Each structure stands twice: as C-alpha cells, then as structure tokens.
Amino acid sequence: KELSATKKDRVNHCLTICENIVAQSLRNSPEFQKLLGIAMELFLLCSEDAESDVRMVADECLNKVIK
C-alpha cells in the first residue's frame, strides 16, 4: 500500500498547521520559533505541490502566518 498522502490530506495538514501556528497559546511556547520554522518550511514545500489546490492553500497559509 502506498504511504503518500492524498491531496485532501495535504490540504488538511496545511490548514491544521496554519490554524495552530497562529494560535496565541502556541506563541507563548518556548518551542514556538522552532515550530514556526518547520511550518514555514512545510508551506514552502507544499507551494511546489503538483496539485493546484494544495499550492493555493499553502500560499494562503503562508500569507496568514506572515501577517
């Protein structure tokens, strides 16, 4: 069985990470800088996805986190 995530999974992962990284409670965590770096790396990776829906969601997440 193939272990790669479906388009829906990749979109949901981006949205979940975005929702949590902008949460005020996480910003107070001592691990926030590390988690922010990982999240940004993931969004940039998803920005190069073959599926346009995944790219669009990753772009929206990047914009939301940067603002």
What is residue 50's predicted lDDT score, i.e. its pLDDT?
93
Count of positions (residues) in the chain: 67
Q: Give the closest residue to 57 by CA, choosing from 24, 25, 19.
A: 19
What is residue 63's predicted lDDT score, i.e. its pLDDT?
96
What is residue 2's predicted lDDT score, i.e. its pLDDT?
54
Q: Give the closest residue to 58 by CA, choosing from 66, 67, 46.
A: 46
- For residues 49 and 65, give the distance between their C-alpha atoms in angstroms, rounded to a whole number: 19
What tens digit of pLDDT does each residue of 6-59 get?
Answer: 999 999 999 999 999 999 888 888 999 999 999 999 999 999 999 999 999 999
What is residue 44's predicted lDDT score, i.e. its pLDDT?
96
Helix (H) or strand (E) holding 39: helix 32-46
